[in-house]
Amino acid sequence: MDESLTAALADFAASSPILIALDFDGCLAPFERDPANSRPLPESATALARLGTDPGVQLALVSGRPAADLLALASPPAGTWLVGSHGGQTGEVRADGTLHLDAFELTTAQAELLGAVTEAMAEVADAHPGAWVERKPAAAALHTRGLDPAAAEAALAAAMVGPGTWPGVHPILGNQVAELAVLEVTKGQALERLRARPAREATTPTEASSAVGRRVLYAGDDVTDETALATLRDGDLGVKVGAAPSVAAHRVPDERGVARMLTDLADRRVTRNTP
What are the DSSP E strand ranges found in the chain? 18-22, 57-62, 81-84, 89-93, 99-101, 132-135, 139-143, 170-174, 177-181, 215-220, 237-241, 250-252
Percent of the chain past pLDDT 90, that is, above it, reads: 79
- pLDDT of residue 271 exceeding 90: no
Identity of residue 146? G
Please give the average per-residue pLDDT across 55-61, as a whole number.
97
Say what the pLDDT of residue 205 is: 42
Model confidence over 110-163: pLDDT tens digits?
999 999 999 999 999 999 999 999 998 889 999 998 899 999 999 999 999 999
Domain 3-104+186-273 carries which CATH code? 3.40.50.1000
Distances (CA, A) of 265 to 51, 199, 228, 272: 8, 19, 21, 10
Say what the pLDDT of residue 206 is: 40
Model confidence over 202-233: pLDDT tens digits?
444 444 445 557 999 999 999 999 999 999 99
Contacts of 270 (CB under 8 A, 6+ apart): 50
β-pairing verdict for 215-220 and 237-241: parallel
Coil/strand/helix, residue 17: coil
| Whether the predicted model's global pTM rises above the 0.75 cut | yes
- pLDDT of residue 81 exceeding 90: yes
- pLDDT of residue 174 exceeding 60: yes
Say what the pLDDT of residue 264 is: 97
The CATH fold of domain 108-181: Alpha-Beta Plaits (3.30.70)
Angle of CA points 114, 91, 222, to nearest 5°: 65
Say what the pLDDT of residue 38 is: 94
Position 32 confidence tier, pLDDT thresholds 50, 70, 90: confident
Indicate the range of 10-24, 155-169, 170-184, 234-248 predicted with least confidence.
Answer: 170-184
Q: Give the residue extent of every domain in the chain.
A: 3-104+186-273, 108-181
Task: Output phi, psi for 145, to 5 deg.
Answer: -60, 130
- pLDDT of residue 56 exceeding 80: yes
- pLDDT of residue 186 exceeding 60: yes
Say what the pLDDT of residue 274 is: 66
Say what the pLDDT of residue 136 is: 86
